[in-house]
Structure 1
């Protein structure tokens, strides 16, 4: 398996060879457009098909995924990848990568361009500062041909095993963020395991929430990711201080691209508050309740 660092470098090397023209090639339905109409074409006024995130054509995205080798890797696994997308509303786009046209979904992505407004001054960030972000509202990566096993059990929310390309997809979304010259990327993980997987390159904007995640990883380290995520999901994780069941509340995670955001996450303010909160946060699994749930599931 390629290291994340090598994967990022290789994909970024390829991205530098892709031009705006490559990524905005007219779709077949728009091929009759003339050069004098290109400005109107890019503004979507005369287009039959929309632009993904106001930038990419379907043909352009397919060209990029071919160049990155993503389509070829899926073909080697027996899939015939077909890409499509459309607007969900005035802000959000949904993208599907299926096995053949109208076939089973391999990748589903819902995203939008958004602005994050700082609610208060913190370190490098001032009240009212605006950050232009690519927001990932939903991402599904699944292999409908695979089966769950004891070694690879389902995670909360999964209907099929994962596709095994999560880090590659995140890297491609980071490259997309760079191409669109955004300040960073935003994700709101619906489940504990989503946050763990995002945490390779994302951080919670709130240092207290980041500390909560670190504390959970520390205190649930004897469990597999699936076991830990199900323990959180089923209310088996207890806050040692309050004795209450821990509940996962999704918040914003950020991958910073610009210097200002990077400085915020590396600031003394962020680090000190994270460490202070981490010292206080402790969790444990309610073993008796876990046994009871297991017994009930066997009847």
Structure 2
């Protein structure tokens, strides 16, 4: 049975110390996201999920140490809470140095039926992550961390910390799990240590993709999947299709991922033998999106490298598109 995610001892102690009064503390009047040019229309700041004020969120982020870790990377930050609907809040953390968002979260309450649960689990309350952005707008890409599909800026290496905070928030508001839908294979890889696909077949296909890319840099496998260069035994593209993932916080939600049907579908699809079509990847690889300078030797072995070669005809197709609604993307 999938286990509920383990929390650090510091997180558990801090969670116990923070009271409802701490989290709902009144905040002074502040600029809205509209004033900052980050959101069309006005904001009404209130209590997110009937629990969190902007001031309370700021206090919690500092108590957990997350705000300090952000500031070590991007300098001073400001938090903005948009609560036009208290049960669909948007939380944005802005870097004063780079004048851009470094964290941007759109959250809402949902029920288990929305992710495909039936029977009693269909009524389980969930914290649903509609979108998630975590980025360093002042840092360039380099060959130690090339861009992943959909990334405009490098990440902050804080995804684990942020996901832990979301699990703590879910516990606080009485949710029985955290749910999301990864937009890309690379995003699913970030979530996979704490999240499981609701559909056993989707989990099995994801496992097969991971196994096929064993020994490869994750970013290179991510591009191979994104560009349709993974093949099944019949030579057909083995694509990644977004599907709901969940991290259970209750026994009834965890049991939904431990049925015979789920296990059977997972085992069947995990046995797929997938392979990388290197010629297709060489032809489609978006060199123009990559950092300047020659790539590492291992990349050259797989892709070849000609600095005078024209841009790939697939370049335009690789440009990041606006995220579809109800989709979570991590960078």
Return the match for 1:144 from 114, 129, 137.
137
| 3-state SS, counterpart of residue 290 of structure 1 | helix
CA distance, structure 2, for counterparts of residue 73 and residue 120 of structure 1: 36
Residue 104, structure 1, aligned to residue 100, structure 2: yes
**Map of 1:23-102 to 2, 5 A cutoff?**
23-29=23-29, 49-87=45-83, 92-100=88-96
- Please give the alpha-carbon distance, in whole angstroms, between the structure 2 residues aligned to 1:88 and 1:238: 45
| Number of the residue aligned with 1:262 | 254
> Which residue of structure 2 lines up, in the alignment, with residue 156 of structure 1?
149
- Normalized against structure 1, the TM-score is what? 0.83
Q: What is aligned with 1:277?
A: 269
Note closer, same or farther for the CA distance 1:151–1:204 as it changes in structure 2 (3 Å cut): same
Higher strand content, 1 or 2: 1
User: Secondary structure of 1:27's match?
Assistant: coil
Seen in structure 2, the aligned counterparts of structure 1 residues 289 and 274 have a Cα distance that, compared at 3 Å, is same
Aligned Cα root-mean-square deviation (Å): 2.7
Q: Shift of residue 77 of structure 1?
A: 3.2
Could you list the per-position Cα deviations for residues 23-45 of structure 1 after superposition, in whole angstroms to 9, with x for gaps in the alignment? 00011249xxxxxxxxxxxxxxx
**1:183 counterpart (176, 180, 184):** 176
Q: 1:252 to 1:88 in 2, by over 3 A?
A: farther
Q: Deviations over 1:14-69 (max 9, x none)?
A: 11100000000011249xxxxxxxxxxxxxxxxx6322233210000001011111
SS in 2 for 1:200: coil
Q: What is the distance in 2 between the residues matched to 1:130 and 1:251?
A: 20
Distance 1:264 1:155 in 2: 32
Closer, same or farther: CA 172–91 of 1 in aligned 2, 3 Å: closer
Conservation of the 8 A alpha-carbon contact between 2:209 and 2:274: yes
1:290 aligns with 2:281: yes
1:120-140 deviation digits (Å, cap 9, x = unpaired) = 88xxx5388322111001111
Larger RCO (alpha carbons 8 Å, 6+ apart): 2
Find out whether 1:174 has 2:167 as its counterpart: yes
Per the TM alignment, residue 7 of structure 1 is displaced from its structure 2 partner at its CA by 6.1
Q: Is the 8 A contact 1:136 1:186 kept in 2?
A: yes
1:118–1:127 contact (8 Å) kept in structure 2: no
Contact preservation (8 Å) 2:48, 2:87: no
* CA spacing shift, 1:177–1:101, aligned 2, 3 Å: farther
Q: Output the CA distance in 2 between the equivalents of 1:108 and 1:60.
A: 17
Describe the shift of the 1:197–1:93 C-alpha distance in structure 2 as closer, same or farther (beyond 3 A): same
1:228 is aligned to 221
Q: Displacement of 1:211 after TM fit?
A: 0.3
1:92 is paired with a residue whose SS is: coil
Q: Displacement of 1:92 after TM fit?
A: 2.9
Q: Distance in 1 between matches of 2:151 and 2:115?
A: 34
Q: How many residues align?
A: 274
User: Which secondary structure does the structure 2 equivalent of 1:16 belong to?
Assistant: helix
TM-score (norm 2): 0.76
- Deviation above 4 Å: which 4+ runs of structure 1? 88-91, 118-121, 294-297
Cα distance change of structure 1 residues 292 and 74 upon mapping to structure 2, 3 Å threshold: closer
Secondary structure, aligned partner of 1:147? coil
Aligned counterparts of 1:51 and 1:90: Cα–Cα separation in 2: 6
Conservation of the 8 A alpha-carbon contact between 1:142 and 1:160 = yes
Q: What CA distance in whole angstroms lies between the structure 1 residues aligned with 2:116 and 2:139? A: 47
